[in-house]
Amino acid sequence: MGDKNTDFREHRITSQDGLGLYVRDYGNAASSATVVLCLAGLTRNSRDFHALALHLCGQRRVLSLDYRGRGRSDYDHDWRNYIPITYVNDVRHVLAALGVQRAFVVGTSLGGIIAMAMAAAIPTSLAGALLNDVGPEIEAAGLTKIIKYMRAEMPLRDWDAAVARLKTFFPDRPAQDEEDWLRMARGTYRKCKNGDIVYDWDDAILKPILAAAGDTVDLWQLFLALGKVPLVAVRGGLSDILSEPTFRRMAKVMPGLIQVTVAGVGHAPTLSEPEVLEVLNGKLAIADRTGH
């Protein structure tokens, strides 16, 4: 299905366990250039990547996915399925359904973790990756703030209140003016028929995180699995999710990793920053030439 008022096609793909998954599809599906797959953060959705997709889709196909439980994808009746291994299986299913053998993954936060998991679980599907403000170690303070935000009281009365909520929890988000904040809010929340503003995700996505509290997960081995593909790591200079020491260590253990720090912003850069686009375009060109 499609919409003449948009710059993308829309797909609804049935997952391996019967859920409907929503995907935006930009650009020429027949292009021989490397496909880009955009994967959002924990509470985010495909709308986050609209500007980036418009930048890239003149030369290549760009896909952007709503995970199960977010945006226009179905909610899962079993909260135990809201885990990375399920998301990786969903990605594999979506790529197969759309006839895509390999993709360069642009992953923000959770999306970057999924890219690492793909490198280990389905390496032939990964042509390269950009990890946006995420690494093999997640800072506890930043995660605690996100959990507190997800548990904050809802609903909100109007869009002004939604903007105020974002400003309260994430003052270092890369918003330049009130229009940016409102755009961010509209990509975060949805308006109900009764006028209430609510989160645009299933509350249950938080349950696996709370259930795993205290567990130790070593993401370094997953990160190292990315060593065979073109790789970019982006960090917000004020990030409380990806620390500067972890960022430096990533460069030490991963030869060939290109890093970009976006000064003055927290979690997470928009990826529309010129310094990010320059490096991403370069890595995509390498992927196009080498078949990665």
DSSP line for the chain? -B-TTSSSEEEEEE-TTS-EEEEEEES-TT--SPEEEEE--TT--GGGGHHHHHHHTTTS-EEEEPPTTBTTSPPPS-GGG-SHHHHHHHHHHHHHHTT-S-EEEEEETHHHHHHHHHHHH-GGGEEEEEEES--SS--HHHHHHHHHHHTS---BSSHHHHHHHHHHH-TTSS--SHHHHHHHHHTTEEE-TTS-EEESB-GGGGHHHHHTTT-----HHHHHGGGGS-EEEEEETT-SSS-HHHHHHHHHHSTT-EEEEETT--S---S-SHHHHHHHHHHHHHHHHH--
Residue 175: per-residue pLDDT: 85
- Span 181-196, pLDDT tens digits: 999 999 999 999 999 9
Place of tokens 């998954």: 21
148 within domain boundaries: no
Residue 1: per-residue pLDDT: 38
3 within domain boundaries: no
The chain-wide mean pLDDT, for the chain, equals 94
Average pLDDT, consecutive stretches of 10 residues, N- to C-terminus, the chain (292 residues): 65 96 97 97 96 96 98 98 97 97 97 97 96 96 94 94 95 90 94 95 96 80 95 97 97 95 96 97 93 66
163 within domain boundaries: no
123 within domain boundaries: yes
How many domains does the chain contain in total?
Answer: 1
45 within domain boundaries: yes
197 within domain boundaries: no
Residue 216: per-residue pLDDT: 67
The residue segments making up the domain with residue 81 are 9-140+217-290
Residue 5: per-residue pLDDT: 45
209 within domain boundaries: no
**Structure-token pair, residue 155:** 């609903």
Q: Read off the CATH number of the domain in which 97 is found.
A: 3.40.50.1820
194 within domain boundaries: no
